[in-house]
């Protein structure tokens, strides 16, 4: 059994007196009406949080880009890489937002002025290297070579 799992198991039995012994003042503890212990999220749970709910982060960004007529696609291995990075940071689901925002920051800034982009692709390599998303251009906007 891992150290994290043992710690989580012990915290399930936490009482207000334990917090006083830890050094918290009773007046502060009295202002916390309910204590709840949550289990740490694993990579699978983080992946689900990123994609499954109606207001999932991936869906939010897809909707935002759709307003600029751009299709946003996250490759499955990219979603897994985001979940793995969030798990490494040990800040739970909050890490998901910061990772995706890092990936999308330049794209969100650039897209409104670009009418030639039709798709935006996020791959595992982009997540791992912290590189900018790949923008795919509309075929009519690609310059044709001049014939001699």
Domain range list for the chain: 1-40, 43-141
Q: Is CATH 3.30.750.24 correct for 43-141? A: no
> Tens place of pLDDT for every residue, the chain, 148 residues?
688 778 878 888 889 999 999 999 999 999 988 888 777 899 999 999 999 999 999 999 999 999 999 999 999 999 999 999 999 999 989 999 999 999 999 999 998 898 899 999 999 999 999 887 778 887 766 566 665 5
pLDDT of residue 39: 78
pLDDT of residue 130: 86
pLDDT of residue 142: 59
Phi first, then psi: what are they for 28, rounded to 5°?
Answer: -70, -45
pLDDT of residue 143: 60
Cα separation values, 115 from 68, 138, 139, Å:
8, 9, 12
Paired sense of beta strands 117-122 and 134-137, if any: antiparallel
**Burial classification of residue 99, based on how many CB atoms lie within 10 Å of its CB (0-12 exposed, 13-18 middle, 19 or more buried):** buried
pLDDT of residue 145: 65
Paired sense of beta strands 117-122 and 71-74, if any: parallel
Give the integer Cα–Cα distance in Å for 39 and 47: 16
pLDDT of residue 34: 86
């Amino acid at each position: 059994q891992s150290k994290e799992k043992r710690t989580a198991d012990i915290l399930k039995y936490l009482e207000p007196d334990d917090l006083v012994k830890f050094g918290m003042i009773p007046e502060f503890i009295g202002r916390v009406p309910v204590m709840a212990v949550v289990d740490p999220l694993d990579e699978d749970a983080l992946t689900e949080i990123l994609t499954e709910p109606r207001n999932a982060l991936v869906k939010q960004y897809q909707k935002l880009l759709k307003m600029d007529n751009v299709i946003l696609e996250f490759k499955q291995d990219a979603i897994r890489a985001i979940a793995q990075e969030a798990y490494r940071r040990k800040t739970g689901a909050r890490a998901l937002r910061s990772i995706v925002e890092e990936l999308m920051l330049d794209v969100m800034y650039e897209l409104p002025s670009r009418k030639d982009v039709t798709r935006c692709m996020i791959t595992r390599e982009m997540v791992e290297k912290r590189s900018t998303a790949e923008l795919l251009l509309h075929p009519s906007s690609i310059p044709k070579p001049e014939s001699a």
